[in-house]
Homo-oligomer: A and B are copies of this chain.
Amino acid sequence: MKIRVVIPNSSSEFTATQVAERKKAAFTGTEVDVVCLPHGPVSIEYAWDEALAAPYILEVARKTEEEGYDAVTVDCAMDPSLRAVREQVSIPVTSGGESSFLVAMALGTKFSVVTVLESTAKVIRENLQKYGFTSRVASVRFANVPVLDLVDEEKAAQAILVEAKKAIADDGAEVIVLGCTGMSPLARKLQQELGVPVVDPAAASIKLAEALAAMGLAHSKAAYLTPPDKEIR
């Protein structure tokens, strides 16, 4: 099985730091390929970033299908352009936010998302409402760490830990979802310290993609209708 992970920003430096983790997340036998966008913002933290990245996400997704991949993951907890990508391609499409929320709901009755910035938290809250999952959400918190500062892992871990602890103690979270796909190593550490499951959206979207492809499932074309050829000026 061949899965392409699309990191929907234009930062090849950031992407380089993520490759090993994404390969590690897959089952033996799954070939994982990680790419970022040719153009667009260097990080996705605002709806504004999403809007600017949108055409390039579509472009990369289209190529992914053409090149014969079995599935594609949009590697971001904000699920940018998810509906548009699913309209465009027929191979399974998963995404960091959606996949991690689904996994979290298999692990407890209430989960909290701990993400990077307030702007990201706003988008994630809106997505949770759109997906109909709010009755399962304890809170969406943010650590006030921009995505590209996640490379200072120690400091990021500390800030995330503080919010995750509040989510558990004050909001009733039984499961923590990390609200950014750049935090895989953190997920493991946090889980040990917190004593509750910590879901890494990058891993979750790869595992879900593998599972869908293996089951012969892809998103419904009755839900995500294929656009006809249309004039683009």
Contact = CB atoms under 8 A, between A and B. Distances in A.
Interface of A: 10-11, 25, 27-29, 39-43, 45-52, 54-55, 57-58, 81, 83-84, 87-88, 94, 98-99, 102-103, 105-110, 118-119, 122-123, 125-126, 129-136, 168, 174-175, 188, 191, 195-197, 199-200, 203-204, 207-208, 210-212, 214-225, 227, 230-233
A223 B27 contact: no
B232 A41 contact: yes
Given A106-B212, A174-B222, A220-B197, A233 B42 contact: yes
A199 B217 contact: yes
B225 A122 contact: yes
Contact of A174 (B52, B102, B131, B223): B223
Nearest to A209: B106
A211 B207 contact: yes
A136 B39 CA distance: 35
A201 to B, nearest CB: 11
Contacts of A28: 29
A48 B222 CA distance: 15
